[in-house]
Amino acid sequence: MLFALLPLGLAHGAGKVVQLELEGPLGVATSEYVIAGIQTANEQQAQLVILRMDTPGGLVEPMRDIIRSILGSDVPVATYVAPGGARADSAGTYILLASHIAAMAPTTHLGAATPVSLGGDDSTSPFSPGKPAPDFATDSPDEQQPDDDTANPDSSDEAEAPEQPEPDTAMGRKVLNDAIAYIRGLAETHGRNADWAERAVRDAATLTATEALEQNVIDLIAEDRDALLEQVNGMELTVNNNPMTVDTTDVVVENIEPSWRLKFLGTIANPQVALLLMIVGIYGLMFEGWNPGAVVPGVVGVVCLLLAAYALQIIPVNYAGLALILVGLVLIVAEAFAPSFGALGLGGIVAFIFGAIMTFDSGVPGFGISITFVISFGLIAGLLLLWMVTYLVKLRKRGAVSGEESILNSVAVAMESFTGQGRVWLEGEAWQASSNVAIQKDQKLKVRAIDGLELQVEPLDPTPHKS
């Protein structure tokens, strides 16, 4: 009978806490890792899930997937923004507000949850920290000046928040209202400050950990994980519509690391890596075309192109920029097949650089392209192009090195004295030759014409060479 009187939370796994790490930009691989970790905690009936977070934001769909997993979990999720200096910007703010327990370490911050799509992208665009659209309008007149009894005089964000213009398109207003309703719903679910949550979307407002605690945006501030476990011990929560009490007495913390598959997917879902895969893939197919049957370049090229296609599927890209990249690579390849002394290659390099900058200039943290990387590629490609043009110029000055053209006007040496027909030595081979004048042995001869396999020669020097 005594067991029936225990809180429901005590029925969870005896002293088991699962810790997950969410660092860097939020993408598909990160989402799969967090969702799998929460599912593992539910299967093991853990007492608590700690999601330690330090993210600048990321993609909207993976964010929503994580939030759905948190809201549907039977194990409470404590999102902990740590260590000191960490942030929960953009999509991280949504995840923090959706969690059953919202905690932050000192010197951390959250906020700036304005959708990038308000700046002109489509409605499925991701979120970016601190990037309110330039065509935003201010709040409505009755929202610009809050009543004195609701305003917090200690909040500089609220008092000095810049006025933002309203979206001037129906799609912009739709995205704005959807984001506001979503984040308000998450905040209200756990009794947190929904008004500030709206300002995080509308005005890209941010808060420090201390300010967030004062304004009821988070539940607690903890120096470290041990302090977090101590503070949440005995906390009463409603988890998946069921009341429970958290018990972190003598718990064992299990850190769940991403699998090798998720680490691999996270690596290739990087703009620089995706671009390199695309380059290697195209050049691999090009080398296979130059050397049919080599197999290895073709196989490597196809695999790299397929991996690049996967990466581009989950990375926010501008398709006009992607088209420029492809055009640039085609022009660079065309320079190798149809030399234009740099015209095609130079145009290809310029198209590639501008295309790379445009393709990944999405404003999504962690999914942009490094200017240093693009410039480095341009310099390397330019040096290779310069070498190619210089080499072609030397070849042209050198003239033909094979075929009939390479033999005409070359110098041969008579292997015997003859009048009419005889044998001469040319480029390491003995040739049949004919001459209208008498030829002496070892005399240098000039090839004037070729008749089948017979050379027509004449003396280069009227004086024969004496050995």
Could you tell me if 233 and 315 lie in one domain? no
Cβ atoms < 10 Å from Cβ of 174: 13
Could you tell me if 420 and 372 lie in one domain? no
Amino acid at 419: T
What's the rounded mean pLDDT across residues 265-272? Answer: 80
Which CATH number fits the domain that encloses residue 413?
2.40.50.140
The enclosing H or E element of 225 equals helix 225-232
Could you tell me if 337 and 204 lie in one domain? no
Could you tell me if 243 and 135 lie in one domain? yes
| Residue at which a domain ends, from 213, 240, 259 | 259
Q: What is the pLDDT of residues 63-114, one digit of tens each?
A: 999 999 999 999 999 999 999 999 999 899 999 999 999 999 999 999 888 8
Length of the chain: 467
Q: Coil, strand or helix: which one is 249?
A: coil
Asked if pLDDT for residue 306 goes beyond 60, the answer is yes
Q: What is the pLDDT of residues 15-65, one digit of tens each?
A: 789 999 998 888 888 899 999 999 999 999 999 999 999 998 888 888 999
Q: What is the pLDDT of residues 350-406, one digit of tens each?
A: 888 888 877 775 555 566 677 777 778 777 777 776 776 676 666 665 555 555 666
Could you tell me if 306 and 452 lie in one domain? no
Could you tell me if 239 and 202 lie in one domain? yes
Cβ atoms < 10 Å from Cβ of 143: 12
Could you tell me if 386 and 434 lie in one domain? no
Alpha helix ranges (H) inside 338-409? 343-359, 371-398, 404-407
Within a domain: residue 464?
Answer: no
Could you tell me if 298 and 394 lie in one domain? yes
Q: What is the DSSP letter of 117?
A: G
Within a domain: residue 467?
Answer: no
Within a domain: residue 465?
Answer: no
Could you tell me if 160 and 280 lie in one domain? no
Q: 119-125 long-range contacts, Cβ below 8 Å, gap at least 24?
A: 119/363, 121/362, 122/171, 123/171, 123/174, 123/175, 124/60, 124/61, 125/60, 125/316, 125/362
Q: What is the DSSP letter of 443?
A: -
Q: Distance between CA 126 and CA 329 in Å, rounded?
A: 29
Which CATH number fits the domain that encloses residue 74?
3.90.226.10
For the chain, the domain total comes to: 3
Could you tell me if 194 and 299 lie in one domain? no
Could you tell me if 179 and 192 lie in one domain? yes
Residue span of the structural domain in which 65 resides: 3-259
